[in-house]
Copies of this chain bind each other. A is one copy, B any other.
Amino acid sequence: MDAIGFERHDHSSCIRAGLDTVERACTDRGLQLTPVRRRVLELLLEGHRAMGAYEILDILRDEGMGSQPPVAYRALDFLVSHGFAHKVERLNAFVACMHPDQNHTPAFLICRACDAVAEAHADPARGFLGQAVRDTGFVVEQAVVEAVGLCPSCAAEAHA
């Protein structure tokens, strides 16, 4: 388990790495990473935060890449459905996935003060859902954890 999002890091290299990983995954799986899809992913990686569909659409429009909601939603659906991005339901917003090449149950840490979002991941096999779920007979296909609280820097300020 690891978490990326709050600690400092070389941002431009993480954007490149993210794009590279997804490009490779698309080639491997025969998926088309079209210009719009690629640009949307890049925006999410650059933003390094949860972005709304309309926020993305505004940028696409400015860049002449389409101006109607479905353009953004379709690109986002593509990214989400192939695991290259996630939707943070709590915020109705989207984030690039930080480990697009592994199967995982994302856990989002959402700062209620600054809206930063970090992605950790929980291992379903380690039973974070517990015995009770298995007892119900429910077949879990996909799960997300969304936690709201304070990121380290906002928590520090709150103490001040």
A124 CB to nearest chain B CB (Å):
9
As a 0/1 sequence over residues 37 to 75 of chain A, the CB contacts with chain B under 8 angstroms (1 = contact) are 000000000000000000000000000000000000000
A residues with a Cβ closer than 8 A to B are 1-3, 5-7, 89-90, 107, 109, 111-112, 118, 120-123, 126, 128-133, 135-152, 155
| Residue among A136, A138, A146 with max Cβ neighbours from chain B (10 Å) | A138
Q: Which of B1, B138, B141, B146 touches A89 (beta carbons < 8 Å)?
A: B146
A67 CB to nearest chain B CB (Å):
26
A144 — which chain B residues lie within 8 A by C-beta?
Answer: 145-146
Asked if B122 contacts A129 (CB within 8 A), the reply is yes
A112 CB to nearest chain B CB (Å):
7
A138-B118 CB under 8 A given contacts A2-B132, A107-B129, A107-B133 = yes
A122 CB to nearest chain B CB (Å):
6
| Residue among A1, A3, A118, A123 with max Cβ neighbours from chain B (10 Å) | A3
A152 — which chain B residues lie within 8 A by C-beta?
Answer: 136-138
Asked if B142 contacts A120 (CB within 8 A), the reply is no
Asked if A149 contacts B141 (CB within 8 A), the reply is yes
A-B contact pairs, 22 of them (CB 8 A): A3-B133, A3-B135, A6-B136, A6-B138, A109-B140, A120-B132, A120-B133, A122-B128, A128-B128, A129-B145, A133-B147, A138-B147, A138-B152, A139-B149, A139-B155, A140-B148, A140-B149, A141-B150, A142-B147, A143-B146, A144-B145, A145-B145
